[in-house]
Structure 1
Amino acid sequence: MNDLEVRQLRYFVTVAEELHFGRAAERLGMAQPPLSRAIRDLERQLGVRLLERTTRQVTLTTVGEVFLRDARTVLDAVAA
């Protein structure tokens, strides 16, 4: 597994907080398609599904909830 980047963690945390790719992309100041690709790539890199997506909603998986907690801890440490 390659090293995770802070950017990937920020992207994931923002999507997890918004539970909406469009709003998350807007918050991040980017387009939605590259954000969706980045999250798919992150899931592939980790070998787990972090988010469940339907045409109507985005929800965190159980693994996604744990990863969100850990990602926030890492981002807080980076900011400190």
Structure 2
Amino acid sequence: MEIRLLRYFWTVAQEGTITRAANVLNITQPTLSRQIKELEESLGTALFERKNNRLQLTQAGLFLKERAEEMLQLEEAFLAKKHQQISGNFLISWKRDYWIWRC
């Protein structure tokens, strides 16, 4: 399962509708609907129920939302740590005579 699909699923769960989630994610509503349907098919279970023009999580959806939150937080922490390790100022120096000689 791709982290992107977890992000899509989590956003739909947070927003309550495919349309609002698609706007937040900056993708089209049909694309998001298709991705959620494919996720449900790959897991073999429904993640949402439609009630009063909103989507409500099923038991499986509630479980996956909790796991998705954990995974998205781990991804965020990893990316922050990765950027910390490579950020900062770098000083590169060499002896002038060596540079002239090598050219």
What is the TM-score normalised by the length of structure 2? 0.71
SS at 2:46's partner residue?
Answer: coil
* Number of aligned residue pairs: 77
Percent of pairs with identical residues: 43
Relative to structure 1, the CA distance from residue 47 to residue 68 in structure 2 (aligned partners, 3 Å threshold; closer, same or farther) is: same
Residue 33 (structure 1) aligns with: 30
Higher RCO structure, 1 or 2 (CA under 8 Å, sep 6+):
1
Point out where structure 2 has 5 or more consecutive residues left out of the alignment.
78-103
Following superposition, which runs of at least 4 residues in structure 1 exceed 3 angstroms of deviation? none
**1:54 Cα offset (Å):** 5.0
What is the TM-score normalised by the length of structure 1? 0.91
Q: Distance in 2 between matches of 1:55 and 1:65?
A: 19
Larger radius of gyration: 2
Residue 61 (structure 1) aligns with: 58
Point out where structure 1 has 5 or more consecutive residues left out of the alignment.
none
